[in-house]
Amino acid sequence: MVPTHQSQVISLNLFEKIIVRKVQAIVEHAEQQCKKNGVRLTEKRKHILAALLHSGKALSAYELVGYCKEQLGETIPAMSVYRILGFLQSQQLVHKLDLVNKYIACAHITCHHKHAVSQFLICKQCQRVKEINLRDSVIHSLLQEVYDTDFELDSPQLEINGLCGSCGKMK
Amino acid sequence: MVPTHQSQVISLNLFEKIIVRKVQAIVEHAEQQCKKNGVRLTEKRKHILAALLHSGKALSAYELVGYCKEQLGETIPAMSVYRILGFLQSQQLVHKLDLVNKYIACAHITCHHKHAVSQFLICKQCQRVKEINLRDSVIHSLLQEVYDTDFELDSPQLEINGLCGSCGKMK
DNA sequence: AGGCAATATGATATAACATATCATTCGGGA
DNA sequence: TCCCGAATGATATGTTATATCATATTGCCT
């Protein structure tokens, strides 16, 4: 069933409201975490984190500058964005994807358990990113094999290019 | 036993000669391969490939510009280096390491068997790179698990940061 | 050999990503 | 309230990469 234009608008608005509320909740959670760690999640930092959460995808530093300008009417210098991203990374609230030079909000901010190092599947078509945790057995054999070649890994963060389900189907 | 200065010099020269000869052999092999594929490995392209092989590590495009200038007395514009790197990648003679924005000669140019997609272990201290091939079983379970999350990988090229054996020992 | 088409390279400009450094402002405790 | 340290702003510059048009080289066909 194809929805009418009218119903699309309504459901998009609803959807948007739900997202905004979710983002707020996550940001507040992050703020508490920061307080616990003796650091501050300032307004600017909240804006950047919220922007990443809201966009739902990986953004470059300069894309974040644009996002803040357009969505929040706030001009944040690129230098500040980089500093803030650095801070958010130090708090594990954001991860950098070196494969595409973009930044993404951690998918596990509100998880209470200590979360493992993640693997990232990056869709090279729509740029959406899925943060997954491979099974321990896979990680373990990977680490073991790398260790056997006389290399030490600090962490099994992996970034892998591919096509997500929906882009794959469109081929 | 600590070698004398004199013997060090001699062995370094010897070592260097052996390396140079090896590089030549690999470049010639690459040239034959290219001919077979109906493309040309021009002088400039040979220089870039040889520079990568000779350095034994991953280099950025601009580092290659410097290398050619210093070692070969030849000034190649950065634009050309990028184009040549693109060509070499298309021929699988060079791989790009997105994690560090550098380029490395393929470790298997002279192998006759059709070679698999590789994994790269990148030492974040000395920048040396080890190109390995994980066991099929590991790759297979990795691919399977990614597939289960509704993602398609085009290739299991992995880039992993860590410390190589010798840098690890120095810690 | 001569000329044509395709390929390769040069030159120049500019975009995209990132850091260094010094100045200014903000926030919270004595 | 004043002071200190943390955060942000402003400016400059470094690094990585691509776009585009001009020139040169190569291989091929006649």
- The reply to whether the predicted model has a pTM over 0.85 is yes
Q: Which residues pair with A132 in a beta bridge?
A: A119
- Of residues B116 and A45, more confidence is placed in A45
- Asked if B149's CB is within 8 angstroms of A121's CB, the reply is yes
- Mean pLDDT for B52-72 is 94
Q: Is the pLDDT of residue A30 over 80?
A: yes
Window A:123-142, CB contacts with B under 8 Å: 123, 130, 132, 134-135, 137-138, 141-142
Domain A116-171 superfamily per CATH = Ferric-uptake regulator, C-terminal dimerisarion domain (3.30.1490.190)
Residue % of chain A over a pLDDT of 90: 52
Q: What is the distance in angstroms measured between the alpha-carbon CA of B43 and the sugar C1' of C10?
A: 15
- Mean pLDDT for B107-125 is 82
- Mean pLDDT for A52-73 is 94
Distance, first Cα to last Cα, chain A: 23
Domain covering B1-108: architecture: Orthogonal Bundle (1.10)
pLDDT-based confidence at residue A9 (cuts at 50, 70, 90): low
Q: Is the pLDDT of residue B171 over 60?
A: no
pLDDT-based confidence at residue A124 (cuts at 50, 70, 90): confident
**A31 class by beta-carbon count within 10 Å (0-12 exposed, 13-18 middle, 19+ buried):** middle
pLDDT-based confidence at residue A121 (cuts at 50, 70, 90): very high
- Asked if B151's CB is within 8 angstroms of A134's CB, the reply is no
- Measured distance CA(A158)–CA(A120) in Å, rounded: 6
User: Minimal CA–CA distance to A19: which of A82, A102, A105?
Assistant: A105
pLDDT-based confidence at residue B115 (cuts at 50, 70, 90): low
- Measured distance CA(A73)–CA(B141) in Å, rounded: 47
Across chain A, mean pLDDT equals 88
Question: Tokens 């979360």 correspond to what residue?
Answer: A115
Among A82-86, A111-115, A142-146, the range with the most confident prediction by mean pLDDT is: A82-86
Q: Is the pLDDT of residue A106 over 80?
A: yes
Let me know if the fold of B1-108 is the same as that of B116-171.
Answer: no
Hey, is the C-beta of A43 within 8 angstroms of any chain B C-beta? no
- Measured distance CA(A138)–CA(A156) in Å, rounded: 11
Q: Which of A121, A126, A129, A142 to mutate to test the interface with B (most CBs of B within 10 A)?
A: A142
- Mean pLDDT for B105-130 is 83
* CB of A60 lies under 7 Å from some atom of strand C: yes
Phi-psi region at A119: left, alpha or beta (left = phi > 0; alpha = psi -120 to 50)? beta
- Asked if A123's CB is within 8 angstroms of B130's CB, the reply is no
Helix (H) or strand (E) holding B122: strand B119-123
Strands A102-105 and A94-97: antiparallel
Q: What is the dihedral of CA B6, B9, B14, B20, to 10 degrees?
A: -170
Q: What is the distance in angstroms measured between the alpha-carbon CA of B70 and the sugar C1' of D14?
A: 21
Q: Name which of B1-5, B20-24, B34-38 the model is least confident about.
A: B1-5
- Measured distance CA(B40)–CA(A147) in Å, rounded: 39
What was the pLDDT predicted at A171?
A: 55
Taking a C-beta distance cutoff of 8 angstroms, is the pair A163, A126 a contact? no
Residue % of chain B over a pLDDT of 70: 91
- Please give the distance of CA B126 from its chain centroid, rounded to a whole number: 15
- Measured distance CA(B69)–CA(B60) in Å, rounded: 14
A44: nt with nearest C1' to CA:
D8
What was the pLDDT predicted at B5?
A: 60
The CATH classification number of A1-111 equals: 1.10.10.10
* CB of B93 lies under 7 Å from some atom of strand C: no
Across chain B, mean pLDDT equals 88
- Domain coordinates in residue numbering, chain B: 1-108, 116-171
Q: Is the pLDDT of residue A90 over 80?
A: yes
Beta strand extents in chain A (DSSP E only): 94-97, 102-105, 119-123, 129-132, 151-153, 158-164
